[in-house]
């Protein structure tokens, strides 16, 4: 039976830990130049309706390094934008490919694609969530701290698709998540929680980051955002990750950002480039974790 990755909860906690063991092994193999081609002769279709740097390149390189190939497809290249139904496209792509990665706006589109496809579907980001990002982030934390349980993450800024996936990921993996955002940005409800992690909201970022092992942020203006963006930036200005906020943890804490970063807005260059930043380590780990996802789902 085929397995999809539409949200982190599509994996059990044990499944995520197994994925991380594979990721570490794949990272070591790559470092040592050891060839590993479990997906030789297999193809991944990559549908992109949103711009991408890390997601596109890491999946494309990942398929190549596993022995397969990736086909980059945009909405204007497919018949979907000319009236073909998602159901018909899913059935046709299932005859040609071994898996589909989709990065799009509407999360329901991903759900519908997975429902009609007979091959694995991977969510490369929607307006609702971003599971492949947070899986790589949690792997990076495990790498740095040697554990996952009882690690405290303070997420500071806009509540968006990355935050949503942090809620599901922290809950599943037994982590503590403090979210600092303006009151108007707090969601009416949380996604389904499937573990024993703890999630709390704070209006005051200084309180949220106290005792945090990780301070995490994302852009204030996400792709597709509309409305009064200038007002949004003003509301979020007190939630910038800077040296003062980093010092407020009261301990040696590390800084993460899923990138791209708008330096001087949600994070200062001083912190992003500082000794406590592991931003580019987490970016690299997108490749290793996604290779593990591909091998798990497509082999």
User: Which residue ranges make up each domain of the chain?
Assistant: 8-130+286-298, 133-282
What gap in Å lies between CA 133 and CA 158, rounded to an integer?
16
Q: Which of 54, 107, 133, 282 is catalytic?
A: 133
Please indicate whether residue 54 is annotated as part of the active site: no
Provide CATH code, domain 8-130+286-298. Answer: 3.40.50.1370
Q: Which of 4, 137, 213, 218 is catalytic?
A: 218
**E strands along the chain, which residues?**
43-48, 69-74, 99-103, 121-125, 152-156, 176-180, 198-202, 214-217, 254-257
Please indicate whether residue 218 is annotated as part of the active site: yes
Q: What CATH topology corresponds to 133-282?
A: Rossmann fold (3.40.50)
The pTM score is 0.96
Instruction: Tell me, rounded to whole angstroms, the distance of Cα 223 from its chain centroid.
Output: 15
Please indicate whether residue 288 is annotated as part of the active site: no
Rg, the chain, Cα only: 19
From first to last of the 299 residues of the chain, give the pLDDT tens digit: 899 999 999 999 999 999 999 999 999 999 999 999 999 999 999 999 999 999 999 999 999 999 999 999 987 778 776 678 889 999 999 999 999 999 999 999 999 999 999 999 999 999 999 999 999 999 999 999 999 999 999 999 999 999 999 999 999 999 999 999 999 999 999 998 888 999 999 999 999 999 999 999 999 987 667 677 899 999 999 999 999 999 999 999 999 999 999 999 999 999 999 999 999 999 999 999 999 999 999 99
What gap in Å lies between CA 33 and CA 30, rounded to an integer?
5
Q: Which of 54, 107, 257, 286 is catalytic?
A: 286
């Amino acid at each position: 039976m085929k397995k999809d990755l539409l949200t982190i909860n599509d994996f059990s906690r044990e499944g995520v830990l197994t994925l991380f063991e594979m990721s570490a092994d794949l990272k070591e193999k790559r470092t040592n130049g050891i060839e590993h081609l479990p997906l030789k002769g297999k193809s991944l279709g990559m549908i992109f309706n949103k711009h991408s740097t890390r997601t596109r390149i890491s999946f494309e390189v990942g398929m190549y390094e596993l022995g397969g190939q990736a086909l980059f497809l945009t909405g204007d290249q497919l018949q979907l934008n000319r009236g073909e139904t998602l159901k018909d496209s899913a059935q046709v792509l299932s005859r040609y490919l071994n898996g589909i990665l989709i990065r799009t706006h509407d999360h329901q589109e991903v759900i519908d694609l997975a429902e009609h496809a007979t091959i694995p579907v991977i969510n490369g980001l929607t307006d609702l969530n971003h599971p492949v990002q947070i899986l790589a982030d949690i792997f990076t934390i495990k790498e740095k701290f040697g554990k996952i349980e009882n690690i405290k993450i303070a997420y500071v800024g806009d509540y968006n698709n990355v935050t949503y996936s942090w809620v599901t990921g922290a809950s599943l993996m037994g982590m503590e998540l403090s979210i600092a955002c303006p009151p108007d940005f707090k969601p009416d409800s949380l996604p389904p929680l499937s573990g024993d992690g703890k999630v709390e909201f704070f209006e005051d970022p200084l309180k949220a980051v106290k005792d945090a092992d990780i301070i995490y942020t994302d852009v204030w203006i996400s792709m597709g955002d509309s409305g009064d963006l200038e007002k949004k930036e003003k509301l979020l200005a007190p939630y910038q990750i800077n040296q003062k906020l980093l010092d407020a943890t009261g301990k040696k804490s590390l800084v993460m950002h899923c990138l791209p970063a708008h330096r001087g807005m949600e994070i200062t260059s001083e912190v992003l480039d500082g000794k406590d930043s592991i931003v580019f380590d987490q970016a690299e780990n997108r490749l290793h974790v996604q290779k593990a996802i591909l091998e798990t789902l497509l082999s």
